[in-house]
Amino acid sequence: MSSPVMPSTESLHSVNYTERPDRAFLSFLVDQLTKVEEQNEWLKAKVIQLEKEQEEFYLDGQKRMEVGFRNVAKCVDEVSAMKEVFKEIVGIMSGERIRFVDNARQNVTSEEAHRVSSSTLLANNSSRERQERRQQYENDCVALNRDSSVKTEDSVNIPRALQDEDESDAREGSQDANLSQMANYKINRAIQSVHDVAREYFEGLPNRPSLMSLERRYGSTWRRSSKERTIFAKRMCIINKINDVRQNPSHYGLPENINRNMAIKVVENIRLGNNNFKGHHCRLSLSQLYTYFSKKMDCSDDYSLSLKNRGEPRRIYLMREREARLERGNGEEEVVISKSSTEVE
């Protein structure tokens, strides 16, 4: 057998020389991989932190948007409430304010009637009122049946100078009272017809001065409050229309030489039904009549000495229109329900 061949020293040196650069390269690769892994870990931590920050930012933005939406909804509700208030104010000013109240739940039930009938407080109050009325009636009967003879006494002689002075003081006091009454005059709000408006302005109500005399004597100083000035302006719109009808009857298709009473009758007929207020022949209030004239809604056919159309209050027409809308809505709902039932079948 042949003995194994031993490597020489030169070959060993060559092998060691070739292994040294591989080891350095491998160590370099390991270092680079370690750095890459560390960098990946750092980037992963940054990405996780960025995700958390973005999530917090998103949640904070959502909360702010929800709060903003709630504030916007609140503002919208307040603005709509203000619009309703302004509608009520405009309706009151124009005389068109109508409230549709559902009285279905306002009827007295049997329990409420029993509670009211069994109330001891109401019974005591009613019995006390009956006793007071009976006592007052008895006192009146006693006063009427009493002897009404008056004891006569001798007249007192008063000097003529003192009597004249007392009479002059009384006249001055009555004049001062009349002046204060005229200066503090308030227009009558209970008037509902054009006849009463003209009477208050031209002639004056019983024991009251006329508005025309107040205007001639005091000017506009007697209308101190804003309410008096407003209602006087509305009344003057009607008075000016009466004067215009009287002075220019041919312009309105009326006979010539009509007097004031006839002009008042013409305007009153417009209030009672000779009009086309919002598309209907309405019986207008004085405020609505002012609106009818101020907005120039009248036409030449409205002016007549005879009442052509007897109108009804505007609220009647509004209630009829509302009932018609409700009936149409109910009819449409029934049609939809019938169609849906047929489709289901």
- Give the per-residue pLDDT at 208: 86
**Residue range 24-30: average pLDDT?**
86
**Residue range 12-24: average pLDDT?**
56
- Give the per-residue pLDDT at 228: 87
- Give the per-residue pLDDT at 151: 45
The percent of residues in the chain predicted with pLDDT above 70, rounded, is 68
Q: pTM here?
A: 0.47
**Residue range 34-42: average pLDDT?**
92
- Give the per-residue pLDDT at 206: 86
| Confidence check: pLDDT of 3 > 50 | no
What is the per-residue DSSP string for 286-340? HHHHHHHHHTT---GGG--SS-----B-HHHHHHHHHHHHHHHHHHHHHHHHHHH
Measure the CA–CA gap between 286 and 322, rounded to whole angstroms.
Answer: 25
- Give the per-residue pLDDT at 84: 81
Q: What are the sequence ranges of the domains in the chain? A: 23-88, 183-329
pLDDT greater at residue 190 or residue 17: 190
- Give the per-residue pLDDT at 227: 86
73 three-state secondary structure: helix
Tokens of 59: 């949640």
- Give the per-residue pLDDT at 97: 56
For tokens 């009829």, the residue is: 320
Q: How many residues does the chain have?
A: 345
- Give the per-residue pLDDT at 49: 92
- Give the per-residue pLDDT at 342: 63
- Per residue in 223-235, pLDDT tens? 878 888 899 999 9
- Give the per-residue pLDDT at 150: 42
- Give the per-residue pLDDT at 96: 60
| Confidence check: pLDDT of 194 > 90 | yes
Measure the CA–CA gap between 47 and 146, rounded to whole angstroms.
Answer: 112
- Give the per-residue pLDDT at 9: 46
- Per residue in 147-193, pLDDT tens? 444 444 444 454 555 555 556 555 655 555 455 555 578 888 888 99
- Per residue in 111-136, pLDDT tens? 766 666 666 666 677 777 788 888 87
Phi and psi at residue 280, in whole multiples of 5°?
-140, 155
Mean pLDDT of the chain: 78
- Per residue in 230-256, pLDDT tens? 999 999 999 999 999 999 999 999 998
- Give the per-residue pLDDT at 270: 94
Radius of gyration of the chain (CA): 49
- Give the per-residue pLDDT at 24: 84
Cβ burial of 9 (10 Å; 0-12, 13-18, 19+) is: exposed
Cβ burial of 201 (10 Å; 0-12, 13-18, 19+) is: buried
- Per residue in 88-117, pLDDT tens? 787 777 766 544 444 445 555 677 666 666
| Confidence check: pLDDT of 267 > 90 | yes
pLDDT greater at residue 120 or residue 268: 268
Which range among 199-208, 223-232, 240-249, 333-342 shows the weakest confidence by mean pLDDT?
333-342
